[in-house]
A = this chain, B = another copy of it.
Amino acid sequence: MPVEPLAHVPAGPDAVARRLSGYAPLNPDDEALLRQITARPALVPARTELARDGEAAPRPQVLVEGWACRQRFLADGRRQIIVVLLPGDLIGIGERRRPLPYGSVTTLTPAQVSEAGCLRERAASSGTSPEGETGLAAALRQAREMEELWLVNQVVRLGRQTAYERVAHFLLELRERLAAVDRVQDNRFTFPITQEVLADALGLSVVHMNRTMQQLRRDGLIEQRATAITLRDVPALRSVADYGGGQGA
Contacts and interface: CB of A to CB of B under 8 A. Distances in A.
Given A148-B148, A149-B101, A80 B160 contact: yes
Interface stretch (A1-9, A28-36, A38-46, A137-145): A137-145
Given A75-B242, A128-B124, A152-B151, A145 B80 contact: no
Interface in A142-168: 142, 144-146, 148-149, 151-152, 154-156, 158-161
Contacts of A146: 100
B242 A79 contact: no
Q: Which of A74, A100, A102, A141 has the most CB of B within 10 A?
A: A100
Given A97-B145, A248-B101, A72 B152 contact: yes
Interface residues of A, number: 49
A249 B94 contact: no
A98 B202 CA distance: 27
A25 interface: no
A54 interface: yes
Interface string A70-99: 101011101111100000000000111111
A159 B160 contact: no
A103 B54 CA distance: 28
Contacts of A244: 54, 101
Closest 5 A/B residue pairs (Cβ): A54-B249, A159-B203, A158-B158, A80-B159, A80-B160
A53 interface: yes
Contacts of A79: 160
Given A79-B160, A158-B159, A242-B75, A152 B249 contact: no
A76 B82 CA distance: 26
A82 to B, nearest CB: 5
11 contacts: A54-B244, A74-B160, A79-B160, A97-B138, A97-B142, A100-B149, A102-B148, A128-B128, A151-B151, A151-B155, A154-B155
A247 interface: yes
